[in-house]
Structure 1
């Protein structure tokens, strides 16, 4: 889905827990560089190639991978992308999630060694291997908040911890697009806080949303839920109000 000139929301489909899910990586490009934000699951390299082919692009053109955080549905295809290219693709991620992405520490939410037999048995057989041998990829450059990356007229890093310790979102200056990662989800046309069951620190995650209020945002891409057009300010204020009501 074309968001604006040089920004495309890719839709990848996967089967998990007896339902079809859609993941939405973001492709950003100009005449000199092609950037991919998040990469899908490990088995989605063919879908990603097909999506690029529809845009008259290829894996070989990718220069940079930006990872919003460590979850396996975001980092899953990064190693496959590198293996399918003879060029040096630079991988960025926040320093707090780097050791998990590189496999030096087990992924926090899908650590099979810390799961009970009942929890492991509840995982569908087709994805159980991902919990036992999760994807990993080397991170070349660590990200920090309020950092401006010199790609495609400026990509600003927004440190939005809570969903994971090193979760980041990205603001594309040229198109005024927020790539939210899992800091926000889109459900029934409404922007919502991240999913509680998969968010490590919900209070911190909601506090992180306030940072978005400092940006002039016209487009929002949620990894889960897809595209929202408009200013997220009202949604964020509504989320904060609902959280405050629950805590009172």
Structure 2
């Protein structure tokens, strides 16, 4: 789990992309905000992994804090780095459709306070400069051959094509934004930032089917303990 300092809606924060590697593969899960490539590179080097060994980036979803530095990474690398995302997210990430949060702000632009209009303009510019082509689209329950096997779990709700990644060998769930950790406790993502809260709850219930010992949340970091029990609590809360 990488720890990158970030400015999140005007507040100092930490975001947590994940690097998975073995002798054959180096995979980055999510690519931070725009202009975080140097932080990502330094995080690789801190772990003793050459940044040039990166071959794959899996994007859990379309939000700017997850896709932001993917294009910069592609431009810097000498060898090919493949971009993976769920098939429902492809048109948002490659610029064919406006990201859902941006479209929502745009639809209410006339009624937004000035500070939100500034956020909208900043988001719009960020997305326009972060458009990147998805090389391979993913579907639910797909097995990726990297690092002992990674299972793709389609968990829509936060966005239409949000995914979690399950490492069965290690019983680790990379949760993207469906969950977060606050004050040491595993919690639901803020409903106000979800595309569809009812769909998000169905996706959360789906996670109960998997034996999970650790969760890596993009916001909040690692949660250990009786994960399945905690997710069950969240499903009835």
Provide the TM-score with structure 1 as the length reference.
0.88
1:119 corresponds to which of 112, 122, 134: 112
Where does structure 1 lack aligned partners over 5 or more consecutive residues? 1-8, 243-248
* More displaced stretch, 66-75 vs 104-113: 104-113
Q: Does 1:81 align with 2:49?
A: no
Which consecutive residues of structure 2, in runs of 5 or more, have no partner in the other structure? none
- CA–CA distance in structure 2, aligned partners of residues 126 and 12 of structure 1: 21
CA contact (8 A) 2:37 2:69 kept: yes
Answer yes or no: is the 8 Å Cα contact 1:145–1:158 preserved in 2. yes
Question: Structure 1 residues 173, 130: closer, same or farther in 2, change over 3 A?
Answer: same
Question: Within 5 Å, which residues of 2 pair with 1:75-224?
Answer: 75-111=67-103, 113-116=106-109, 119=112, 121-123=114-116, 128-134=121-127, 135-224=130-219
CA RMSD of superposed structures (Å): 1.8
Q: Residue in 2 aligned with 1:64?
A: 56
Task: Give the structure with the higher percent helix.
Answer: 2
Looking at structure 1, the residues matched to 54 and 209 of structure 2 have their Cα atoms a distance apart, in angstroms, of 30
Q: Retained in 2: the 8 A contact 1:71–1:107? A: yes
The Cα of 1:127 is off from its aligned counterpart by 8.6
- Which residue does the alignment assign to 2:37? 45
* Contact kept in structure 1, 2:106 and 2:120, CA below 8 Å: no
CA shift for structure 1 position 191:
1.2
Q: Is the 8 A contact 1:93 1:139 kept in 2?
A: yes
Q: How does 1:10-49 map to 2 (within 5 A)?
A: 10-49=2-41
Would the aligned equivalents of 2:158 and 2:195 in 1 still touch at CA under 8 Å?
yes
Distance 1:76 1:90 in 2: 15
- Alpha-carbon contact 1:17-1:123 (below 8 Å) kept: no
| TM-score, normalising length: structure 2 | 0.92
Deviates more, 1:121-130 or 1:14-23: 121-130
> 1:163 aligns to what SS in structure 2?
coil
Alpha-carbon contact 1:17-1:124 (below 8 Å) kept: no
Equivalences, count: 234
* CA positional deviation for 1:241: 1.5
